[in-house]
Amino acid sequence: MRILLLGGTAWLGSHIARDAIARGHDVTALARGSSGMAPNGVRFVTADRDDPAAYEGVAGERWDAVIDVSRQPGHVRGALAALSDRTEHWVFVSTGSVYARDDRPGDDETAERLEPLAGDTMHDMSQYGPAKVACENTVLAARGDGGALIARAGLIGGPGDGSGRTGYWPRRFARPSNAEGRVLVPDAPRLSTQVIDVRDLASWLVDAAERRIAGTMNAYGDATPFAEHLRLAREVAGHDGEVVAVAPTWLAEHGVEAWMGPRSLPIWLPEPEYSGHSARDVTRSRSAGLRPRPLVETLADTLAWESSDAGAWPRRAGLTDDEERELLAAV
């Protein structure tokens, strides 16, 4: 197959490219290259998708599939205008952030979405969900339900997770902030997590190109209770110290953020307003062949990466050692 990957140098895109190359496909990646170079074996076309002439180097060719990971509605419109009539199948990587509500466990792909972004450009992350809605609408208008896959990815994790979210817990249990080995966790026994390993998502997206999988599907991992997620993180880290569970209200009072970012406890979200955020129905994607690996494998591999030179960089999510020690002293 001839696959055009719009992207291919960042985390998910590079995994897609490597998977497709390993299967023997002819892969071209069109990107600025600011996230790095494409993997070996990939033909790389340098282009800025803000430029109306961005697709001139590939628009005259025929493609079995285009895989697009963009978040900018203008980029998606431009790509479809230049390439759709010369492409057999279209795969667009969207996000669960398109959904308008996060409080209903079990919602499927028919749940209401946010209003689409009106313009071509997303200017900050507050517009991420609406921008992806606009991208979805553009793809479906151009390709119809049978000519494209809209893959709404959940939280993507695994080795190379630069957000720090899926690596925080195994790393924290492997490296407690204190000599006693105590680790601070949220008391959230009913909360669900739903991590999709980047390698499994990438492989399935290549499957979608090969098999022309079409429709809109939640590309999430298996729902796992937060308490079980923490247990598995402890297991891969070999942690046997005390786990100090504190109420979400206590965390809020002490300035601890949810989900991601500085001074946070990653992946945790407040309930009930986020009870359904990581408890989406995945019947469609499972029927289409998405088979996530066990979460324990993702966590173990992420810990190995976090412990390597590649993972040795400033943490983008979680508590620093000083912050955790300060909070433990206040419990």
Report d(CA 138, CA 130) in Å as an integer.
13
The mean pLDDT of 244-251, rounded to a whole number, is: 97
Comparing CA positions, the residue from 124, 331, 132, 151 lying closest to residue 242 is: 331
- Residue 58 pLDDT greater than 90, yes or no: yes
pLDDT tens-digit profile of 68-113? 999 999 999 999 999 999 999 999 999 999 999 999 999 999 999 9
Tens-digit pLDDT profile for residues 176-223: 999 999 999 999 999 999 999 999 999 999 999 999 999 999 999 999
Q: Residue 144: what pLDDT? A: 92
Cβ atoms of 4 and 66 closer than 8 Å: yes
CA distance 87 to 83: 6
For residue 313, the model assigns a pLDDT of: 67
Q: In the CATH scheme, what architecture does the domain 159-193+223-277+294-330 have? A: Alpha-Beta Complex (3.90)
Q: What is the mean pLDDT of the chain?
A: 95
Structure tokens at 72: 């900018």
What confidence tens digit (pLDDT) does each residue in 166-188 have?
999 999 999 999 999 999 999 99
Which range has the worst mean pLDDT, 37-41, 206-210, 259-263, 319-323? 37-41
Per-residue pLDDT at 36 exceeds 90: no
Write out the two tokens for 46: 């340098």
Residues 17 and 27: their CA atoms lie apart, in Å, by 7
Region 112-141: what's the mean pLDDT? Answer: 97
The pLDDT of residue 125 is above 70: yes
- The answer to whether 54 and 83 are in contact (CB under 8 A) is no
Residue with tokens 């050692």: 321
How does residue 145 score in pLDDT terms, banded at 50, 70 and 90? confident
Domain with CATH 3.90.25 in the chain: 159-193+223-277+294-330
Task: Take residue 124 and report the two structure tokens written for it.
Answer: 């900050």
Nearest CA to 83 out of 19, 148, 26 is that of 148
Length of the chain: 331
CA atoms within 13 A on the CB side of 183: 23
d(CA 165, CA 172): 11
pLDDT score at 312:
61
For residues 10-35, average pLDDT: 93
CATH architecture classification, 2-153: 3-Layer(aba) Sandwich (3.40)
Predicted confidence band at 38 (pLDDT cuts at 50, 70, 90)?
confident
Mean pLDDT of 47-69: 94
Whether 74 contacts 249, CB under 8 Å: no
End-to-end CA gap in the chain: 58
